[in-house]
Amino acid sequence: MAGNAATVKTLPGKILMNRYGSVIIGILFLCSAVLSADEIATMNDGRKVRLKSDGTWEYLSPQEAARADAQASTVEKTASSAEKSAGPSISNFVFELHASKSFDFRSVSWGMNKQQVKSAEKLKLIDEYKDSLKYDHEIQGIRCNVYYVFESDKLVSARYTMVRKHFDPADYNEDFIALKKHLIQTFGPAASVQDFWNNEMYKGDETKYGFAVSIGFLTRTVNWKQERSKVLLQMEGINHEVFTNVKYSSVAK
């Protein structure tokens, strides 16, 4: 039972006090996971205790208990906000991807040099390297980064990378599914749909696919080929971070 002072849980077993003040902890608690320092638990009578990594414990003062409740409430509100942000705006995100019919990507075309792209792009430039540009953007409440990649000072690819945080990793997979659906409506049937597994522990249980991606077990891809551009939808991750990309590249590359 890993946690910290912001975690408030009820002990799974009964806590009984005898007349000598010792504590007898029920078998369910003894069989729970190893405790880390500063775990906060709630006894059956409502009082809160701090469980220490050496197996000892102590009652919280009223002030400490109030702070623990406030911190736990903040955690719950943060989770709730993340869950509420999971669903909306994907269709609007896709709409902006294809708002312009005159260019290959946003307001640029393949083959432009870096200076031409910088002049055409009105977003905030946050990084510039020899062969790439990175911009900050927000589409209908969805934060993303926009990247441009050059070869021999000619634009060859560009992409959106969603900067979206979900409390539940499964919501990343829901984003991916929604993006796939809307891109199919735009481009038609995909040329290929592939899942690449580095570890098949969660294969077959799609409710765990978002988590599998976040720990590097799975990368999901969908590809389309248009007259001038190849389009790749990709979800990849590592160290519990998930990156959802919509990448365009020149067919002539």
Residue 2 lies in a domain: no
- For residues 15 and 138, membership in a common domain is answered with no
Q: Which residue has the higher pLDDT, 100 or 225?
A: 225
Residue 1 lies in a domain: no
Looking at 53, 81, 109, the residue that finishes a domain is: 81
How confident is the model over 26-73, as pLDDT tens digits?
Answer: 323 333 333 334 566 666 566 777 766 555 668 878 878 777 777 765
- Whether pLDDT at 114 is above 70: yes
How confident is the model over 158-180, as pLDDT tens digits?
Answer: 999 998 888 899 999 999 998 99
Q: How sure is the predictor about 79, in pLDDT bands with cuts at 50, 70 and 90?
A: very low
* Domain containing residue 48: 8-81
Give 22's contacts (C-beta < 8 A, 6+ positions apart): none
Looking at 81, 115, 135, the residue that finishes a domain is: 81
* ∠ CA 155-161-162, rounded to 5°: 155
How far from chain centre, in Å, is Cα 217?
15
Residue 140 lies in a domain: yes
pLDDT of residue 77: 46
- For residues 137 and 70, membership in a common domain is answered with no
Q: Domains in the chain: how many in total? A: 2
How confident is the model over 219-244, as pLDDT tens digits?
Answer: 999 999 999 999 999 999 999 999 99
- For residues 114 and 223, membership in a common domain is answered with yes
- For residues 72 and 129, membership in a common domain is answered with no
How confident is the model over 199-211, as pLDDT tens digits?
Answer: 999 998 999 999 9
pLDDT of residue 215: 95
Residue 226 lies in a domain: yes
Residue 58 lies in a domain: yes
- For residues 58 and 107, membership in a common domain is answered with no
